[in-house]
Structure 1
């Protein structure tokens, strides 16, 4: 499982690349990789909870985000090995 933070580096460029970024997020959900996406408060960027991919695959996916590619945000990928979960999230413990 991965937590990805996308912190604004140049927020002024965000409107220019928003459509591509939104399509990138949609693709992550459509592919079954993204579980959650939301804003970092207050207006600091975004965060994504992802699973079901290798570290190499998540790195490539993150680099494909137009916000990352165009320097709108800087990305940090944190790998988490779930040890305890609420029962509703037990599927996360089965990941490699």
Structure 2
């Protein structure tokens, strides 16, 4: 499982120009069964994605395809997490 942190860079003011592409990128991640959750980092720091069913290498390539990353609107950090314990509702993450 992975946590992808997308923190705004100095090019934050260009986010509006690339928002449609970024939203389409997020939707593809959900459609492909890789993204479990996405949301904003508060206060106004960027966003984050919870990802699974992928390898680190595949996720790195996927993240590079995000228009926000490609246009340096955000800096991306991928954190790998090996779940060891989960609530029953999230037990599927332990597989």
User: Residue in 2 aligned with 1:56?
Assistant: 57
Gaps of at least 5 residues in structure 2 are none
Alignment of 1:41-52 (within 5 A): 41-52=42-53
Runs of 4+ in 1 over 6 A off after TM superposition: none
Deviations 1:10-49 (CA, angstroms, capped at 9, x unpaired): 2101000000000000000000100000000001000000
Q: Which whole-Å CA distance do the structure 2 matches of 1:42 and 1:19 have between them?
A: 22
Q: Does 1:38 align with 2:35?
A: no
TM-score, length-scaled by structure 1? 0.97
Q: How many residues align?
A: 94
CA RMSD of aligned residues (A): 0.4
